[in-house]
Amino acid sequence: DGGITQSPKYLFRKEGQNVTLSCEQNLNHDAMYWYRQDPGQGLRLIYYSQIVNDFQKGDIAEGYSVSREKKESFPLTVTSAQKNPTAFYLCASSIRGRYSPLHFGNGTRLTVT
Amino acid sequence: AQSVTQLDSQVPVFEEAPVELRCNYSSSVSVYLFWYVQYPNQGLQLLLKYLSGSTLVKGINGFEAEFNKSQTSFHLRKPSVHISDTAEYFCAVSQGGSEKLVFGKGTKLTVNP
């Protein structure tokens, strides 16, 4: 079955450490996205990529970095510069086009202490 | 910039009662509208979408939504809810030439027996 795999489901890190969240899709989608979800805040866009080797900042990119070396993969690194990294992170993908719905992974819950 | 307002953060209802979850967006210029559902600790799933044509859109699980251009609204309705409909619901808008979705803050629907 096609879909998006995010791993791990739960991640714990100490403050000051960088951490990388994995996102892999086998839907053959060109576009991929990272969202952050906090209680009562909805989803906020961190980064998105419409083609391999290209990506754009979303609304809250500070303290995060991404890469898009393969069509299937879009890892997100939460750096030590991110002031409030504890959150639920969702990866999504879509066929390119403004009316294409997003397909979501099941998320990674990151806790930084 | 486009914005989405979900007027109710929480909606409690009894099983088999009708429900309406409200969504308003900021611009009437060429928008594409979506409703997503999120069950606890999971990603989001597409319920329905409005791209063009009939203003009444039917989705999965018996949900429907009506696009009202003059009121810039896209309210979600279900005539009779089940316990299994308990989840968080997100309205999202893509405006004009943008490939980015803007999400509302979500409405938590709780269906009580």
pLDDT in tens, B32-85: 899 999 998 889 999 999 988 888 999 999 999 999 989 999 999 999 999 999
pLDDT in tens, A19-57: 999 999 999 999 999 999 998 889 999 999 999 999 999
Reference A59, options A71, A70, A43; nearest CA is A43
Q: C-alpha angle A71/A77/A80, rounded to 5°?
A: 170
Strand B19-21 and strand B73-78: pairing?
antiparallel
Residue type, B2: Q
Nearest CA in chain B to A43: B103
Q: Is B59 on the interface with A (CB under 8 A)?
A: no
How many CB pairs below 8 A link A and B? 60
Residue A99 has pLDDT above 90, yes or no: no
pLDDT of residue B97: 60
8 Å CB contact between B53 and B66: no
Which residue of B39, B101, B108 to mutate against A (max A Cβ within 10 Å)?
B101
